Amino acid sequence: MNQKHGYKMLALSLVAGALLAGCGSGGDTIESTSPSTLGGSVIKGPVNDANLTLRDMNGTALVSVLTSNGKFTLPQITLQSPYYILESMGGTYLDEATETNVTIPQNQSLKTLLSKDEIEQMISTDTPAAITPETTIYAGLVEALLTQNPNKSISEAMAEAETIIDKTLIEETSPLSAVPGDKFLKQGDLTSPFPKDQTEAFARNRAISFSYMTRDMGLSPEEVFTLIEKITENLKDGQWDNEDLNNDGVDDNATEAFGLARTKLFQDTTTKLQNGELSEGQREELRLMGFDVDRFNNNMADAQAALQAEVSQYLSSDTLPTLRRLPELTDEDGNLTDAAATYTLTAQKDVNVTIETPEGSWITPMWRYNNQALPVIIRTNRGNAMTLNFQNNLDANSTIHWHGFKIPADMDGGPDTPVEAGNSKSYTFTMDQPAAPLWFHPHPDMQTGKQVYMGLAGVFLLEDAISTQLENSNALPSGDKDVVLLVQDRRFDGNTTDQVRNLKYMDMEMDMDGMLGDTVLVNGSVVPKLAVSNTMYRFRLYNVSNARTYKFALNDGSPFKVIATDGGLLDTPTEVTSITLGAAERVEIVIDFANYAPGDKVMLVSQPFNGDMMSMMGGMNNSGSGMSGGNASGMNNNGSGMNGSSGTSMGNMDGMQANGTGLSIMRFDINSTETETVTLYSSLPSGAAIKNRLSTIDVTNPTERQFVMSMGGMGGMSNGGNMNQGGTMNQMTFVINGKSFAPDRVDEFIQANATEIWSIKNMSPMAHPFHAHAIQYQILSRNGIPASGTDLGWKDTFLVQPGETVKVIGKFEAVNQGDYMYHCHILEHEDAGMMGYFRVGDTGQLGPQ
Ligand code: C2O
Ligand code: CU
Ligand code: CU
């Protein structure tokens, strides 16, 4: 070191380039410097040709240089002041979110503030300075705090600014929650393709997130600088106060917007990883941040190939069981044609169910209604007055919740109206909504997941004048060609040769994230076959799994038509080659087997898809190594081979297959020819409610509500992504708007008959199916992109991907007064508290007990 009267000689080599508008994708590593020089990086995408100036706190410029590829080297100077501002003005960079070249407006800068001590320490350790959007906010905050309170020392202001940033822009925005390395960073070469540690990886990732945030707010890339200034100004008082950041007339929450941007970036990056599109440096960055990168060495193509191999085995197999049709209950009121219907549903345990599979069969004791081996169907007409007598013969509280029904709150069967063991309740209401594939299931407090998993769920097919007319005029397949397919994944103990196999529920630590089984049941059978003729069939496809998402498709890629979503028929049948269904979502599809000849076979599969980032975290890895120490019993060998081989490349373990694993669902055997009598409708008759977009019906200033879904307690992400550091998953929390379910708290108050817009945002690392009771929504947009295709149907449950915002509109009908639930329909999340009450109308009496 060159020392002179206590002042250190300094050569700053700053790397400018990646921190100004997004994240530093490209960029070179810092050139080797002599031990007496300081290196640095400017990240907004490595910034080129910026004017980099070192000045003291009086604003006196000491030296200026140009940046190149995000880097710069300052000539040696003598440090005479205790604090310095390092500021990068102008220049160009490649914006990460939009992949456009951006010229930084001349009056805009990125900067940082360093003490002489810090500079000396950086020189002695040969550490470069980092200039990022965050350090820019930091330097601006320090200046603002000093202006606010001139008595404050600079070092106090620096500590305060750092705390503000750590809290509002880092801790509260982390989709991974509480990772030690995710913290404010002033030093490091953020233009290097290989971050040196977790803190550097996160800092660069956050720098890129500013680019995403800018894009997602509808701003142009260069407007990031104005955004940075606004955020700085807003945070002066130590907290975020909502403010209109993008001049759209609506106040924004920067913490939330930045959190969503970070989530979206993670999700995009993990998708690229699974597609094999990341550089070694980017993979290392993800690895450092805690993702199990190596598990995804096998890419999507391998997963596809594995599924195809499994499918070809099943296509030629002659041991597939025959699809069972679900039993339909009969109206008990003695009059099948009046506008009233009565049914009894008795819930009971230990109903022995024979599970048929291609490898033989076994018996599993399940919980069922009416002693039936399979879930039952109730079919009724719009306008009917229903009496549904529920008898609870379980030894725990239960309810029947009518999922997707517009009915009064006291008949809704939520956790606030439990029916105790041995007791009964009569649910009475009138069906007044369009024909739809509805369903029902227990909804007791904290036991919903278990009771549904054990086998309690039923199908409720509502018909109306329109659906009946379409069937009668041969515009819809009906009768034998109208088939309910109830899809559920389960986990069994023992192995395929055992006579009795019990269901296993929540026996692995990761089941808290959502119960996934390794065996898919379709109407109670494993990979069943259905004989069909070469005509059109209507399948009512129900995802009644606790947590799994399916991407249904035909194995040969043939298109099919989606004709209905959760709440009713689509105005226009929509042709697709696959349809993704989250837990509790339903569609009706029409498959036309006309292009097949007798003897042909085609399979319904769930295609492999990019799992969410959750499935890539250390603790979720399926090799078993990431599980908390020694807890391997739950995943010990229990009969693999059952429709499981396709899982190998996307991650499977005995007893469980990750979300996104390719799966064989069932087979269609084309065994006869028949003259087609059906011409599928192309547009619903006038009068169908779905023809009206609620947003175009005169609604003046609908109330808008925000729901942010997030997860916490994943502290195990430290240590480079390995969760086996002692059960951190146990503290996992699932919240909406920061709140966990409380039986005595109502979160939202809604006027009767109101039409409202709800924005559901997912700031967590996994996809969540959002559901609200008593309403059918129309989706307006996803991440600002207007709804189209199957999103144009009525929805009571819809998947929200990490980083996604889904905007929906819905009308709370007059009949819907009282307290209802909104929640994630991953039942383990719901049971863990990812749920809340909303109250419709000013009823006073109804509500949480
Ligand atoms: Cu299927 Cu609370 O819902
Ligand atoms: Cu529901
Ligand atoms: Cu969830």
Give the tens place of pLDDT for each residue, 573-602. Answer: 999 999 999 999 999 999 999 999 999 999
Give the tens place of pLDDT for each residue, 112-164. Answer: 999 999 998 888 888 889 999 999 999 999 999 999 999 999 999 999 999 99
CA of 119 to the centre of ligand 2 (A): 59
Residues bordering ligand 2, an ion, CB closer than 5 Å: 403, 773
pLDDT over 70 (residue 3): no
Nearest ligand 1 atom to alpha carbon 773: 2
Q: Compute the half-sphere exposure of residue 842: CA atoms within 13 Å on the CB side of its CA.
A: 1
Nearest ligand 1 atom to alpha carbon 823: 2
Residues with CB under 6 A from ligand 1: 401, 403, 441, 443, 584, 771, 773, 821, 823, 825
- DSSP-derived secondary structure for 695-727: TTS--SS-EEEEEEEEEE--GGGHHHH---SS-
Burial (0-12, 13-18, 19+ Cβ within 10 Å), 136? buried
Nearest ligand 1 atom to alpha carbon 404: 1
d(CA 448, CA 439): 14
Give the tens place of pLDDT for each residue, 744-780. Answer: 999 999 999 999 999 999 999 899 999 999 999 999 9
Name the closest ligand to CA 736. 3
Kindly report the pTM of this predicted structure: 0.88
pLDDT value, residue 653: 58
CA of 771 to the centre of ligand 1 (A): 7
Q: Helix crossing, 254-274 with 280-288: angle to 10°? A: 130
pLDDT value, residue 714: 54
Phi, psi of 142 (to 5 degrees): -60, -45
Proportion of the chain above pLDDT 90, given as a percent: 72
pLDDT over 80 (residue 718): no
pLDDT value, residue 621: 35
Paired tokens of 198: 């977790």
Give the tens place of pLDDT for each residue, 393-447. Answer: 999 999 999 999 999 999 999 999 999 999 999 999 999 999 999 999 999 999 9
Paired tokens of 814: 């007059």
CA of 825 to the centre of ligand 1 (A): 6
43 confidence band (pLDDT: 50, 70, 90): confident
CA of 739 to the centre of ligand 2 (A): 20
Contacts of 237 (CB under 8 A, 6+ apart): none
Closest CA to 300 of 103, 67, 551: 551
Nearest ligand 1 atom to alpha carbon 441: 1
pLDDT value, residue 273: 86
Per the prediction, the chain carries an average pLDDT of 87
Contacts of 601 (CB under 8 A, 6+ apart): 315, 529, 667, 668, 669, 670
Return the residue whose CA atom lies nearest to atom 1 of ligand 1. Answer: 403
844 confidence band (pLDDT: 50, 70, 90): low
Name the most confidently modeled range: 259-263, 582-586, 611-615: 582-586
Name the closest ligand to CA 549. 3
Proportion of the chain above pLDDT 70, given as a percent: 87
CA of 731 to the centre of ligand 2 (A): 27
pLDDT value, residue 12: 46
262 three-state secondary structure = helix
pLDDT value, residue 67: 87
* Total residues found in the chain within this entry: 849
Return the residue whose CA atom lies nearest to atom 3 of ligand 1. Answer: 403
pLDDT value, residue 349: 97
Quote the radius of gyration of the chain (alpha carbons, Å). Answer: 30
Q: Write out 779-811 in H/E/C secondary structure.
A: EEEECCEECCHHHHCEECEEEECCCCEEEEEEE
CA of 539 to the centre of ligand 1 (A): 22
701 confidence band (pLDDT: 50, 70, 90): confident
CA of 765 to the centre of ligand 1 (A): 22
Quick one: average pLDDT of 14-28? Answer: 34
d(CA 479, CA 532): 13
Better-predicted residue by pLDDT, 5 or 295: 295
Name the closest ligand to CA 796. 2
Paired tokens of 742: 């409380």
Name the closest ligand to CA 826. 3
pLDDT over 90 (residue 529): yes
Give the tens place of pLDDT for each residue, 296-352. Answer: 666 678 889 999 999 999 999 999 999 999 999 999 999 999 999 999 999 999 999
> For residue 633, how many other CB atoms are within 10 A of its CB?
8
pLDDT over 50 (residue 702): yes
Nearest ligand 1 atom to alpha carbon 414: 2
pLDDT value, residue 40: 65
Nearest ligand 1 atom to alpha carbon 443: 2
pLDDT value, residue 10: 42
CA of 425 to the centre of ligand 2 (A): 18
